[in-house]
Structure 1
Amino acid sequence: MAVHVSPSQERDTMLAPSSALMLEQGWQTRGARGSLQNLKKFNNQDFNQLRALCLSQGLLFEDATFPAHVSSIGPNLLPADKLWQIQWKRPTEFQRNPYLITDGVSRFDIKQGEIGDCWMLAALGSLTLQKQFLENVLPKDQGFQDGYAGIFHFRFWQYGDWVDVVIDDRLPFLNGRYLSVHPRTSNEFWPSLLEKAYAK
């Protein structure tokens, strides 16, 4: 069984580019627009509330706003026959001891998936070199150990605000291979989950 959450609000999912100066100002400002204290919740999904609900019911989160379905992949990424061959798996289903991060975060942690998303690798690699921003994007209050409920969240800078995006941890595979960015080590999942949140 799983907890399904319906979207309560439609939003534009395109993330706007912003200058490094705007990002740094937003990162430093406390309690004002553009600060982590005034996070916007994408689709009005609250990570802490949803995780607490899943844990109280002994269920793993399933995100109805971005389901494990071909509709979340998009019709033009792959030929139709391959789209319907995609399988969705949680890291806990194929790794005995998964982690969000092992031994820190590095640009060498990531590999390109089947869809040829090298642009995402470049962005993630650059982000790993900016530790102060990486901590904003990748919150430390989550993982596969204590409090695991199949739910994760990541933050993105969008139109002058930090936006918190909640996802479940079901990842797409095609013919046993990762469809998107994946970790170089078999049990580290921050790259795959971060790309899924960005895609949402």
Structure 2
Amino acid sequence: MFTPGSALTLEQGWQTTGATGSLQNLKKFNNQDFNHLRTSCLSQGVLFEDATFPAHVSSIGPNLLPEDKLRRIQWKRPTELQRNPYLIMDGVSRFDIMQGEIGDCWLLAAVGSLTLQKQFLENVLPKDQGFQDGYAGIFHFRFWQYGDWVDVVIDDRLPFLNGRYLSVQPRTSNEFWPSLLEKAYAK
């Protein structure tokens, strides 16, 4: 059981600098460096494709859906879905998210709670990315795991089944932070 004041201590620990478990000492998932990969894609004029978490049924898992549905999955980038996509529009809110084709209400509840804690959300959702300046089809999110912040890089190809988001879908058609956050968490 937590002792009085332990939540404050935990919160302060998440905000420390320069030490293990700090944002300045991020662990890179799969040794992928967001800035290096984005710079490389921009210099080559290509959109990032994540070979470690490909736009393939292997990234979804064979037991999530029946095989006939898995074969019908299509992968689309937000830029293919919307003329003017945004990572975030008018801030974030628990009302930004809706459940997709799969049953992931547990994740929606956690993400909804995270939106109520802006100081933690800023740790998870870095501001150095988007669809406007420096877009290269690459995004990253940070997750607290076993006492460390882990930076997870993804491409922005999202799975669709029968024209619907397979996973969490944004309430606003051109806001993509919920869908990309879930993809990073799945990775």
TM-score band w.r.t. shorter chain = over 0.9
1:178 to 160, 165, 168: 165
Question: Is 1:34 matched up with 2:21?
Answer: yes
Query: What is the Cα deviation at residue 26 of structure 1?
Result: 3.3
Q: Structure 2 matches for 1:115-194, cutoff 5 A?
A: 115-194=102-181
In structure 2, what is the equivalent of residue 54 of structure 1?
41
Query: What is the Cα deviation at residue 25 of structure 1?
Result: 3.6
Task: State the number of aligned residues.
Answer: 182
In structure 1, what is the equivalent of residue 3 of structure 2?
none
Query: Is 2:15–2:23's contact at 8 Å kept on the other side of the alignment?
Result: no
Q: Alignment identity in percent? A: 91
Cα separation, 1, equivalents of 2:101 and 2:127: 28
- TM-score normalised per structure 1: 0.89
The alignment's C-alpha RMSD in Å is: 1.2
Aligned CA distance change for structure 1 residues 22 and 48 (closer, same or farther; 3 Å): farther
Give the SS at the match of 1:62.
Answer: coil
Cα separation, 2, equivalents of 1:158 and 1:21: 19
Query: Is 2:169–2:179's contact at 8 Å kept on the other side of the alignment?
Result: yes
Query: What is the Cα deviation at residue 27 of structure 1?
Result: 1.9
**Amino acid of the structure 2 residue aligned with 1:196:** K
Q: Which runs of 5+ in 1 are unaligned?
A: 1-18
In structure 1, what is the equivalent of residue 85 of structure 2?
98
Cα separation, 1, equivalents of 2:156 and 2:30: 17
- TM-score normalised per structure 2: 0.95
